[in-house]
Structure 1
């Protein structure tokens, strides 16, 4: 079994979406003073590698804590626009995909989508109750047209519009 980390590291001053909160990670307690270490995190819910709740772009839709956990993991494939896509699996795109592909996406009923998707497509997917992942890295390390297991579990943020995740792919040898 091989595990591939698909998450970007979080650090103070990292690049964020325009007008989103700046990332600040501050050491609050130290081993020398308190005999333990603790950091304070300040950031938006859509920082780094993250998942979007249906409520992110649709007022009144389900929030991150209302979406069942099984929506955030499962069999997944890396796909391209011009190939046949598997049904009812997660889809990850290593090339930009946009609203023009919405009908094809809806026809295969993916569990979730991530990778290079436009904001317009993201909005349409969330309206159609398809979870979206943004900020995934190392997608080029994943097998193409082979199934692997993806996990991108959110923090259980009450009424959350999204959450940072530690996304991983598990590939069987």
Structure 2
């Protein structure tokens, strides 16, 4: 059994989605002054590696706290779409043969390497057709990019389709090169237990 952590560390000044709150991790109490340590965290609900709940974009969508632990453990499969390129569209033609028990598609765009660069927002995105394909089959969607939709766009068809179907979206994964190709694995997506539209999560693959 191999465990792979796909989670970005949370740290002060880390990259965020344009317009989201900045991230700060600061000392609140210290050993020298207080005899113990406590940190003060300031961050948005969509900081770093995180999960989008339907409530993020759907007026009547479920919040994260309504998902059981069992629903946060998914059989997943990688979709290698690194050849799509900046601003390109990932379509159903990019999908491999998907195993019958898969519950989450993990899109490897290659944009984890652009984290913190000027190109970070230029990532590929899923086509509306592929988004509906995922929604119709009950697939959660995970990506190594900022979003499965174009960043900064006025329309979010992927979020609307996937979250609208009650499925989850996981964003800003890293370490996808360590995942198996062509076979499924178990994905543990464990966000903070908060009644919210989303939350940072520890995401771990087991195979």
Q: With the length of structure 1 as denominator, give the TM-score of the two structures.
A: 0.89
Secondary structure class of the residue paired with 2:202: coil
Distance 1:106 1:126 in 2: 8
The farther-off stretch of 26-35 and 44-53 is 26-35
Q: CA RMSD in A?
A: 1.7
Aligned equivalent of 1:140:
177
CA shift, 1:107, in A, is 4.6
Residues in 1 aligned to 2:194 and 2:134: alpha-carbon distance in whole angstroms: 28
Residue in 1 that maps onto 2:204: 168
Please name the residue that 1:64 is paired with.
Answer: 64
Aligned counterparts of 2:35 and 2:56: Cα–Cα separation in 1: 40
For the residues of structure 2 that align with 1:122 and 1:77, how far apart are their CA atoms?
20
Q: Is the 8 Å Cα contact of residues 79 and 85 (structure 1) preserved in structure 2?
A: no
**1:39-76 Cα distance to aligned partner (Å, 9 max, x none):** 01000000000001110000121111122332211221
State the alpha-carbon separation in 2 of the partners of residues 108 and 145 from structure 1: 19
Q: Describe the SS at the equivalent of 2:134.
A: helix
Aligned residues: 169
CA contact (8 A) 1:85 1:108 kept: no
Farther-moved stretch of structure 1 (121-130 vs 101-110) = 101-110
Which stretches of structure 1, 4 residues or longer, exceed 3 Å deviation after superposition? none
Which residue does 2:108 correspond to in 1?
A: 94
Give yes or no for contact 1:75–1:150 (8 Å, CA) kept in 2: yes
- Out of 126, 131, 152, the position equivalent to 2:163 is 126
Matched, 1:114 2:142: yes
Stretches of structure 2 that go unaligned for 5 or more consecutive residues are 81-93, 110-123, 150-155
| Residue correspondence of structure 1 range 39-50 to structure 2 within 5 A | 39-50=39-50
CA distance in 2, matches of 1:98, 1:8: 26
User: Normalising by the residue count of structure 2, what TM-score does the alignment of the two structures yield?
Assistant: 0.75
1:79 aligned partner: 79
Q: Distance in 1 between matches of 2:21 and 2:27?
A: 19
SS in structure 2 at match of 1:140: helix
Stretches of structure 1 that go unaligned for 5 or more consecutive residues are: none
* Conserved? CA contact 1:71–1:131, under 8 Å: no
Q: SS in structure 2 opposite 1:65?
A: helix
- Give, in whole Å, the separation in 2 of the partners of 1:91 and 1:71: 15
CA–CA separation in structure 2 for the residues paired with 1:100 and 1:79 = 16
CA pair 104-124 structure 1, distance change in 2 beyond 3 A: closer
